[in-house]
Homo-oligomer: A and B are copies of this chain.
């Protein structure tokens, strides 16, 4: 297979996988973006700028995202004692609990899908993951 052919197949499958992921989160009490943001906060408080960069999003977008998580009490805003311009964001207990629950059900969904494959197919995916992870990081 030439690189171009591979690119074409990959492009097609990516679209398929996006739809798969969408189904995996449908009906859950957290959109996939909100889930991703909560995940970034697991290791402790972060600043808005960091979050925006990590998610490949502009600051205003992250502001709105955090507003929506703050309102139901899943995250809390704080301040940086060293620099009054920066706002920090951290998980509340409630937010942490929600994150864990949603993660469990997402992983369960994907696990169920992976179970329908053969052992060989799962291994093929497993082997390809590091390569996929490298894509676009250059």
Question: Which residues from chain A sit less than 8 Å from chain B, CB to CB?
Answer: 1, 3-4, 6-11, 13-24, 32, 36, 56, 106-108, 110-111, 113-117, 121-122, 124-136, 138
Contact = CB atoms under 8 A, between A and B. Distances in A.
A100 to B, nearest CB: 13
Tell me whether chain A's interface is mostly helix, strand or loop, or mixed.
Answer: helix
A63 B99 CA distance: 36
20 contacts: A1-B126, A3-B122, A6-B111, A7-B108, A7-B113, A9-B126, A10-B110, A10-B129, A11-B106, A11-B107, A16-B135, A17-B17, A20-B136, A114-B135, A116-B134, A116-B138, A117-B131, A121-B134, A122-B131, A124-B130
B138 A113 contact: yes
A110 B14 CA distance: 11
A22 B61 CA distance: 16
Nearest to A36: B15
A131 B125 contact: yes
Nearest to A122: B6
A53 to B, nearest CB: 12
Contacts of A113: 7, 135-136, 138
B136 A23 contact: yes
A56 to B, nearest CB: 5
Contacts of A24: 11
A136 B19 contact: yes
